[in-house]
Amino acid sequence: MTKVFLKKKIQNRVLQGHPWIFGNEVGEIQGPVDAGDIVDVFTHSGHFLGRGYINPQSQILVRLLTRDKDEQIDAEFFYRRLLKAWKYRQQIGYTENCRLVFGEADEMPALVIDKFNDYFVLQTLALGMDKWKGAIVDALTKIFSPKGIYERNDVPVRELEGMQQQKGFLSAPFDTNIIIRENGLQFHVDIENGQKTGYFLDQQDNRRAIQHIVKDADVLEAFCYTGTFSCHAGYYGAKSVLGLDISEHAVNTARKNAQLNNLEDKCKFQAVNAFDVLKQWTKEEKKFDVVILDPPAFTKSRENIQKAITGYKEINLRGMKLLKPGGFLVTASCTNLVPPSMFLEIIDMAAKDAKKKLRQVTFQTQAQDHPILWNIENTTYLKFLIVEVQ
């Protein structure tokens, strides 16, 4: 097996458990290097560190799969890992819909699998993981006997690994428009064309967190996408709910979701530019009891981080100004390039500019089926905050 030796000075992060090895951390490679192949990784002095897949085309040269010298990477390996991931989800109470595999946090770097009851959506985001797609599908079939498996590999990051974007069935074809249950409600999921894997499971715990603050309230949700927070607000007793999103398609799905839960009289949706509307309504001094902001990631690269900070500050400032005194702001950020401390700073800056006083109700991360490893920063990506605004 090809051997990869790290440089002497920059291996601590890897020694401390991080599975990524960048090209500039490697001192020497002994043996052939074929993209996607399994290699053994050693310290500068020859101590075995781990086994993983290599891709010279990627900035991340090696991603480690195991640190056990005796563990071979084969089809059985992926079966064991998937079984372990499923057991963990069951232990923490996720049996119906969940992120079954969350990449590095489940010791399967660059693999994402979402479970929508009996349907599975898979993403293999690195070449070394893509090579094992067949084994992963076989393991899913063996463990779950699913009604369908679909790949959503229509993501640009694959091109950095020398792969094409693609999507399609990895099982017999099935109707990709399904309905799932969450927190007592039902939602349409468009597996084939919805955002990411078709539905944002990472907010399912956070959607419950609005339960008490929305009772008898007039609620505004900006960037509502398919209206999941809006429908939860209606279900939890809001007086009125208005959801805004720029996508006509998303808004139509939001209306269907409201209808599915008999909330169409209470939950209304408009296809508009939320940025513009927030600005306009601030001038008009419109007021709500609760404002919910769950925007898409404002940046996917470090170069645009300042633009993202400005965007988050702007919408939160507007949100605060649209609240009645003592109203609640529910705000989130899903980019891992904005760490929790920075997100809280942005909200604080917005409050100062809006001349508002904040009282924190709760500050949470993504749902528990997206586990966080403290030594791998990008496993903490979602920030969810509720504050009372005075």
* pLDDT given for residue 298 in this prediction: 78
Burial class (CB in 10 A: 0-12, 13-18, 19+), 90: exposed
Rounded to the nearest 5 degrees, what angle is found at the Cα of 69, between the Cα atoms of 68 and 72? Answer: 85
What percentage of residues in the chain have a pLDDT greater than 70? 99
Sequence spans of domains, the chain = 3-66, 75-174, 178-389
* pLDDT given for residue 10 in this prediction: 77
Q: What is the pLDDT of residues 230-245, one digit of tens each?
A: 999 999 999 999 999 9
Worst-scoring range by mean pLDDT, 20-29, 185-194, 243-252, 305-314?
Answer: 305-314
* pLDDT given for residue 202 in this prediction: 97
Q: What average pLDDT does range 180-188 have in this prediction?
A: 98
* pLDDT given for residue 90 in this prediction: 98
CA distance 5 to 8: 9
Rounded to the nearest 5 degrees, what angle is found at the Cα of 228, between the Cα atoms of 304 and 173? Answer: 90
Q: Which neighbouring-strand residues pair with 3?
A: 30, 40
Q: What average pLDDT does range 79-94 have in this prediction?
A: 98
What is the 8-class DSSP label of residue 296?
P
* pLDDT given for residue 328 in this prediction: 99
Average pLDDT score over the chain:
96
Q: What average pLDDT does range 290-319 have in this prediction?
A: 88
Which residue matches tokens 């109700």? Answer: 361
CA distance 127 to 347: 39
Q: Are 143 and 100 in contact (CB under 8 A)?
A: no
Cβ neighbors of 268 (< 8 A, separation 6 or more) are 240, 241, 242, 243
> Cα 75 vs. chain centroid, distance in angstroms?
27
Q: What is the pLDDT of residues 327-362, one digit of tens each?
A: 999 999 998 889 999 999 999 999 999 999 999 999
* pLDDT given for residue 267 in this prediction: 98
Q: Which neighbouring-strand residues pair with 62?
A: 21, 54
Q: Is the confidence at residue 301, as pLDDT, over 90?
A: no
Worst-scoring range by mean pLDDT, 90-99, 232-241, 302-311?
Answer: 302-311
CA distance 212 to 353: 28
CA distance 42 to 155: 32
Domain 3-66 CATH class label: mainly beta
- What residue spans of the chain are helical by DSSP H? 12-15, 75-91, 127-130, 133-144, 204-208, 228-235, 248-260, 274-283, 305-321, 340-353
* pLDDT given for residue 160 in this prediction: 93
Domain 75-174 CATH class label: alpha beta
Strands 267-271 and 240-245: parallel
Q: Is the confidence at residue 100, as pLDDT, over 80?
A: yes
Question: 178-389 domain in CATH 3.40.50.970?
Answer: no
Q: Are 208 and 186 in contact (CB under 8 A)?
A: no
Q: Is the alpha carbon torsion for 317, 212, 97, 179 positive or negative?
A: negative
CA distance 178 to 190: 7
Q: What average pLDDT does range 68-86 have in this prediction?
A: 98
CA distance 357 to 351: 7
pTM, entire model: 0.95
Q: Are 278 and 245 in contact (CB under 8 A)?
A: no
